[in-house]
Each structure stands twice: as structure tokens, then as C-alpha cells.
Structure 1
Amino acid sequence: MLILVLLGSSQLAGQATAQSNWFQFRGPTGQGIAATATLPKEWGPEKNIAWRQEVPGLGWSSPVVAGNRIFLTTAVPQSEEKKADQSLRTLCLDADTGKILWDVEVFLQDGETAPRIHGKNSHASPTPYLEGELVYVHFGHMGTACLRQKDGSIVWSTQELSYRPTHGNGGSPVIWGDHLIFSIDGADMQAVIALDKATGELAWKTERNVEDIPKYFSFSTPLLIEVDGKTQLISAGSGVVMAVDPSDGKEIWRAGYGKGYSVVPRPIFANGLVYVCTGYDRATLIAVRPDGEGDVTDSHIAFTIDRNVPLNPSLLSVGTSIYMISDNGILTCLDGLTGEVVWRERVGGNFSSSLLYADGVIYLLDEAGKSTVVKPGNEYEAVAENDLAERALSSLGVIDNDILLRTEKALYRIAD
């Protein structure tokens, strides 16, 4: 089903989102870098908390910001039954107070027919994307929609691209030109999808065409990069990472990585290389030169790392170094050009949240709500440790010089 409400001309104005706004998963660059922010380094339940706002239901989408408004998605069970219907909702919060300004149901998921999700997932895990006066929300197999930021009114929604997920949904959308783009990696469909961002109609679909892997599901968010003056969309899935032309979906190159599946981390691009984590059962990190064509598996992989590579948290680039936190709490600094390990340090805890860099330090958030602030460099140096003691799987957001931290029950604005 495709629902369309015509856009007025006023809603087409102001297409560019200010770089200071955190408008997509992992911020303006999509790689966890807050280039101009000076963020707090210390906080606690009673320290440096501007506000704490309870959020209904459960969702592990990250907060995104436009001006003085913060947007989240969540899934609210409609009863206490084990297979309760889920109201899939979008929320808008006032950035100064945390007050919920509007709360809109986008889709209703039938609990009796809903697929089972992983214990670390939610029915609202993909992060929204903001552009102009609009907010684009994605709920995987349940559908995609465009809402007005002002009041949450639905511009369009579509459930045309239904597929069979495994463990739920996860990958977030991106925008390039007139297209809203995301990856579908379910048990019965594996493809990169582009919708017309003005209508929700299918613009193009590029299938992965991967065979002989044990499981086909993945959850990664694509990344847009520039190579030799041309844009590539990097999409990692089970068994393969692909680069496609975002204008028409034509495949540019692909690199295979065997039987890797349930790929979660978003790729990053630095040092002229695309860095991809290959998923379960044992993750490896491959660094790919993106200037090839066709199958570049044997020709363009610069190096491979097979120890302490994350299954869930995305990587971070600082200078020429690459930082990664394994799911069981080992932080590694790599030489991003050669793959040589500079140092490893056990931070402790279990991790799902991706790394964040701002004002000369790296922020890590573990699943129990404990944060570690680390100074990048040739040796491990912890600057601070902070504990909110609430379950936390979302990646951090940034607003001005403050941190947005989502826990299982609430959203925090952390400010000096």
C-alpha cells in the first residue's frame, strides 16, 4: 500500500540541512564525528544532566536533530500480551526542555504475525533522516514514511517493499539527490533500494546476487562517499560489500568476504579506503580501495584484520588511525594505512553503540550505560568514566555542545 499526500511548495524549500545539526545515524558525515562540538567529558545521574525525558515504548534508533527539535522512533506495545500489537511511532522533543511536542503513529504492527526479534533489537531500531522541513522514518519490513517536522503529519507512507526479516530490523536510510536509499537484507530479499523521496515510489532496486552463504540477513546502513569526483553508495550485506551509483543503482564494484552474515556496523571511509566489518560468526575487518570496477575481491583489498573486530559497533577514523571497540569491550587502535595494530586495551563491558569523536576525545558507551572517554594517540589514555546505570544500545547524538544519550527508558541531554 502506498499513501501519498501532495507536498506544498513551502515544504520543498530549504533542502540543505545545516552541518551543525545531527541529521542522520552517526551525524553529518555518517561516521560518528562531531567536528565543531566541544562536548562534556564527565556526567552522572546528578551531574551535568540538562534534562531526562521518559520515552514511551522501546526503540534503539538514535536521536537526530534539526534546529531546536529532536526526533526519535519507538515501538509501543498495545497490551501486556506476549504477542502484543506494536504501535510504530515517531516522536518530536523540544531540545531545551525535553518535552514531547508531538507523538504520531506511523504504522501498526500485528503482534500475532510479527516476526520474532533479537533480544538486543527493537521494533524501532533504524534512525530517522532529516532534510529541510521533513523527517524520513524507516521501520524495515513494516514500511517507510515521510512526515512534516512541524506537526508530524504524514506526507507519504509505503509498505510496498515487504520482506521476511530475521531478528528484526536495523539499517537506517540515507538521502542522495531525489532518492531515499536503504538496504534490505532479509531471508527472502537482499537488495539496495531507492525511493523517490517526494512520493515514496520505487526509483530503483539493485539485488545483491550473493549465493552459497549460510544466512542472508544483515542490518547495515549505507554510506555515501566521493571517489574521483563521483559519488558511490557503499552497502554492506551478507557475504559482500557493494558500491552502486546512487542515481540509478548501477553496481560499480563488489568485494566478497565469504560466509559473513548479520552485518551490522556501518562502513567508514578514510585514508582512501573503505573499511567494512564482515559480521558473524567471526567478524573480520577488510579495507577496500574503492577505485575498481566489477569484482575486486582479489585485487583491491588492502588488508584484513581478524582479531577483536566488532559485530555491532561501527568504527571510527581519527587522523590516519582507525579505532574499533569489540562487542566484549576491547578497544583497538590500528594504523589505517597498513592495518598494523598500534595498541589494544580491555575497556570492559559489552558494546553495541558506535564510537563518537569530538574535541580531541573518543566516546564509548557500553550496554549497561557506562561511558568511557578516551584520548586518541599512540597509547591508551582514559580521560573519564561516567555511569548512568541504565541499559543503552543506541549510538550517541549531538546537539550544539551537548550529548544526546538514549537509554532503554529515557533520552538524556548532557551538558556542562
Structure 2
Amino acid sequence: MHARPCVQTACLLLILSTSHAASPWPQFRGPAGDGIVLDQNAPLKFGEKENLVWKSELPGKAWSSPVIADGLVWATTAIEVFPNEEERLDLLRAAGIEEKKFKQLAVAKAIQLKLFALDLQSGRQLAGIDLTEIATPDPIHSLNSYASPTPVIDGDQIYCHFGTYGTFCVNRTSREILWQRRLPLDHSVGPGSSPLIDGDRLILIQDGTERQYVTALDKNSGETIWETDRPEMDAPTGDQKKAYCTPIKITDRLGREQLICMGSQWMVAYEPATGNEIWKVRHGKGFSVVPRPVYSDGVVYFSTGFGKPQLWAVKVDGSGDVTNTHVQWTVMKGIPAKPSPILHNGLIYVMEDNGIASCFEAESGDEVWKKRIGGKYSASPLLVGDRIYLGSHEGTVTVISTGRDSEVLAENQLDGQIMASPAVVDDSLILRTADAIYRFK
């Protein structure tokens, strides 16, 4: 007699649970933050006129990756007011920059930070949300942008982080800014660290030149829950203390939850609830670290940043300073300073900044293969099924096969520069260039 209402209730609950399903691509490097997608497909060959569903141009300049949920593609951007050459030089001098660094830096007279929403099916722009305007922003590296950190989607909210220029919580339905914070920081060459959601906490790595720390904000209010300074560093200037890494969250074999937060000279694991340090390892003089770490089977793998990038494998079950006890292996050459690694089926793949791809045994660090792909790279690689997608500054996306006998499968050319890491949803590849966002299927 009551069967039908029960069935109806079950169906309603199923609909509600489906409508609030986890975001298909909620953060930098995807659902697990590791750049791996095994349950979907992506086209092998594509281009401006091949397998293109849509191409949508966006104003401004941004290297943040798109994030996707509920049929919408979200992307941040920075619209710059450009100075002429005389104004540019005056702005750099006013910022206290040494003249020998003028060529490698860019600066804007002002910037407008925005969040865009695009329809996943058509690419049509559905919203443009003004977040803030910044007068006389700091200079940045000419290869960076003012909107390089990737936003993160959590439930009904999207969190947009621009380093020193502000952190914003936006309701995805009403498009309202629920809260905003500004945590001043001297990035030296612009912002880069993307945020991480952990429960009710928004985790931010704040490694500037003058101060280096990690903080957790209440994701509902923006208020500070905790902040923890980084370990002491041995460096002549703050420029060699800064970093731009994005944290990961793991649970070790002892049941300890850990926030793995890579920084200059030190890799550190913190307690998520308190910010207390669990363990740390001194990895040397590496600085300006960009690649996001990857984790599997009790070991975290990470690049050590600029200087002479190395690849380290460190066991995560220690406490205190584990530099002399928990380092499993290191690879000293052929390691990227910017693209993050891929770890899959016992192999770790890296794409060096100057166009050389390598594969190593995850257990030992032994080299499996090395091959020249060509081009310059900042975007992190993406693994879809048994293929790896590599997007270059020159707009070339090279597809190689995974495994010990990897080979180049395809080379695809787009019109714009690729600095943002790609995404995959609904068996489609979502790519951002300097000028547009693409959907290929």
C-alpha cells in the first residue's frame, strides 16, 4: 500500500543526490589533483578545424586552468590596462626593481579580476562576474599572468584565488560574492599557488619573498582557522625562499591525515585541523617550486623547483625531520621546474620545461625511457586512459602512449600559447590557450 510513495521518495533522493554529485573537474589537475582520468576518452587528433565542438574567446590574460561542474566551465582572467614603454619603465623603477631584471618582467597600470562561466555544450558565455580592480599591481614575470592560480569548486561555491590580489568565495547559482579576503604577499614574479578544499577549510600556500607560511581559512566565512610559518631557510635573499606550489591531501598507513605542502628548500606535511607540522624533509636549495606533488602507496613524489630541478621520492610515515631516514630515492637530472609529474601503474612520467619527456620506475627511480618532444612547457601533462597529452607554449599538443614502450601517437596544433593545464569531462578535452577555451570531442 505504501510501496509507491517509497519508490517516489527513493527516486527523488536519487535525483537530488545526482544533481549534487561531485564536480567532474573541480580543481587544478582534476578530481584527485593528479592529472589522471581513467574512466573517460579524449580525442587523439584535434585542431582548429578537427573534432572541435566549440571555441570561445575570453578577454584578458590568465594561465589558470578551467574547472567544470553542472554543465558549466568556469575560468578566471585578469584584464590589464597596459602602460606604454615609458610608463612601464617608470612603474618598474617605482616598484624598486633592478634594471637588469626589466626585460624579464611585465607590469600593468591596473588590472580587473573576473570570473567567467561558459556553457559546456555550446561554449556560450553565460556570466562575467567582476571580482575586484587593483590599481598599480606589482610587476610579474613576463611568462606569468595576474590570474594563474586555478579556482576550486566545492558544493554550490567556487573559490577564486589570486595570491596577494585577493581570495573570493562566489555562489555558482546567484553569482554573488559571499566573502573575500586579501592576504598581502610579495610574490616577486606574480601569483601561482592554487587553493585546496579540505572539509570546511580552504588551504592556501603563501610562500612569498618576505614571509613563507601555509594557512587554512574557514570556507564559509573566510576567517583564518590557522596559519603556520615555514621552516627556517638558508638563502641569501627572499627571492630564493618564494614558491608557487599547490598542496595535496593524503592519509598515511598510520591513519594520519596530512597536508603535503611543498616549498623552497623544504617539503613539509601538516595536520589539516591544526596546521601543526608532522614531518619535513630538506630537499636542498630548490626554490620557486611550481609542480604539484603526487602520491601513491606511502610515498610522495615531487620536483624541487628552480636551480637544478630534482625528483624526490619520500616516505610519508615519519615524524620530525626525516631528511636522513625517509628519502627513498632522488633523480638529479632531466626534471621539470614547472610541469607536474604523472604517476600511474608504477611509472612516473615527467615533461621537462625544454621539451624532453622521461619515464622512471616509481619504486627505484631508475630511468625507463627518455625522448625529445620539442617545444617549451609550463602546463602539466594529462593522462587519459592509456595516453598522455602534452601542451606546449607553441600551441602544440603532443599525444604519447603510456607504458615502457611509449611512442608519439599524434601532434595537434592550436593557434594560441598553452600555459594552462587541460581538463576532461563528458569524453571531451577542454583546453585553454592564451586567447580562448576549446572543447574537443
TM-score (norm 1): 0.93
Residue 86 of structure 1 is matched in structure 2 by 111
Distance in 2 (alpha carbons) for counterparts of 1:132 and 1:360: 31
Residue 23 of structure 1 is matched in structure 2 by 26
Give the drift of 1:67.
1.4
5 Å-filtered alignment, 1:32-47, equals 32-47=35-50
Residue 175 of structure 2 is matched in structure 1 by 152
Question: Any conservation in 2 of the 1:195–1:201 contact (CA below 8 Å)?
Answer: yes
List runs of 5+ in structure 2 lacking aligned partners: 1-15, 89-107
Further displaced range: 224-233 or 85-94:
224-233
Q: Are 1:223 and 2:248 an aligned pair?
A: yes
Q: Tell me which amino acid in the other structure corresponds to 2:80.
A: P
List runs of 5+ in structure 1 lacking aligned partners: 1-12
Question: Any conservation in 1 of the 2:187–2:209 contact (CA below 8 Å)?
Answer: yes
Name which of 182, 195, 199 aligns with 1:177.
199
Distance in 1 (alpha carbons) for counterparts of 2:187 and 2:230: 16
Residue 138 of structure 2 is matched in structure 1 by 115
Q: Tell me which amino acid in the other structure corresponds to 1:282.
A: K
Residue 74 of structure 1 is matched in structure 2 by 77
Residue 53 of structure 2 is matched in structure 1 by 50
Question: Any conservation in 2 of the 1:255–1:296 contact (CA below 8 Å)?
Answer: yes
5 Å-filtered alignment, 1:17-416, equals 18-19=21-22, 21-78=24-81, 82=88, 83-111=108-136, 114-159=137-182, 161-214=183-236, 215-228=240-253, 229-415=255-441
* Residues 275-333 of structure 1: CA deviation (Å, up to 9, x unaligned): 11111111011100000000001110000001110000000011000000000011101
Q: Tell me which amino acid in the other structure corresponds to 1:117.
A: I
| Number of residue equivalences | 400
Q: Tell me which amino acid in the other structure corresponds to 2:221.
A: T
Distance in 1 (alpha carbons) for counterparts of 2:134 and 2:322: 41
Distance in 2 (alpha carbons) for counterparts of 1:96 and 1:347: 33
Question: Any conservation in 2 of the 1:220–1:265 contact (CA below 8 Å)?
Answer: yes
Are the structure 2 counterparts of residues 287 and 17 from structure 1 closer, same or farther at C-alpha, using a change threshold of 3 Å? farther
Distance in 2 (alpha carbons) for counterparts of 1:61 and 1:32: 15
Could you say what secondary structure the match of 1:403 adopts?
strand
Question: Any conservation in 2 of the 1:52–1:98 contact (CA below 8 Å)?
Answer: yes
Residue 9 of structure 1 is matched in structure 2 by none
Distance in 1 (alpha carbons) for counterparts of 2:323 and 2:18: 37
* Residues 210-252 of structure 1: CA deviation (Å, up to 9, x unaligned): 2212411110000111112232110011111110011111110
Distance in 2 (alpha carbons) for counterparts of 1:21 and 1:137: 18
Give the drift of 1:400.
1.2
Q: Tell me which amino acid in the other structure corresponds to 2:113.
A: L
TM-score (norm 2): 0.88
Q: Tell me which amino acid in the other structure corresponds to 1:28.
A: P
Could you say what secondary structure the match of 2:126 adopts?
strand
Could you say what secondary structure the match of 2:429 adopts?
strand
Q: Tell me which amino acid in the other structure corresponds to 1:77.
A: E
Residue 98 of structure 2 is matched in structure 1 by none
Q: Tell me which amino acid in the other structure corresponds to 1:325.
A: M
Could you say what secondary structure the match of 1:141 adopts?
helix
Q: Tell me which amino acid in the other structure corresponds to 1:27.
A: G
* Residues 123-168 of structure 1: CA deviation (Å, up to 9, x unaligned): 0000010011110010101111100112421000011x21211100
**Root-mean-square deviation over aligned CA pairs:** 1.6
Distance in 2 (alpha carbons) for counterparts of 1:201 and 1:20: 25
Give the drift of 1:358.
1.0
Q: Tell me which amino acid in the other structure corresponds to 1:186.
A: G
Residue 91 of structure 2 is matched in structure 1 by none
Distance in 2 (alpha carbons) for counterparts of 1:250 and 1:15: 37
Q: Tell me which amino acid in the other structure corresponds to 2:150.
A: T
Question: Any conservation in 1 of the 2:233–2:241 contact (CA below 8 Å)?
Answer: no
Give the drift of 1:20.
6.1
Could you say what secondary structure the match of 2:164 adopts?
helix
Distance in 1 (alpha carbons) for counterparts of 2:371 and 2:82: 44
Distance in 1 (alpha carbons) for counterparts of 2:290 and 2:419: 13
Distance in 2 (alpha carbons) for counterparts of 1:211 and 1:122: 27
Question: Any conservation in 2 of the 1:78–1:86 contact (CA below 8 Å)?
Answer: yes
Q: Tell me which amino acid in the other structure corresponds to 1:227.
A: D
Q: Tell me which amino acid in the other structure corresponds to 1:74.
A: T
Question: Any conservation in 2 of the 1:242–1:251 contact (CA below 8 Å)?
Answer: yes
Choose between structure 1 and 2: higher helix proportion.
Answer: 2
Q: Tell me which amino acid in the other structure corresponds to 2:160.
A: V
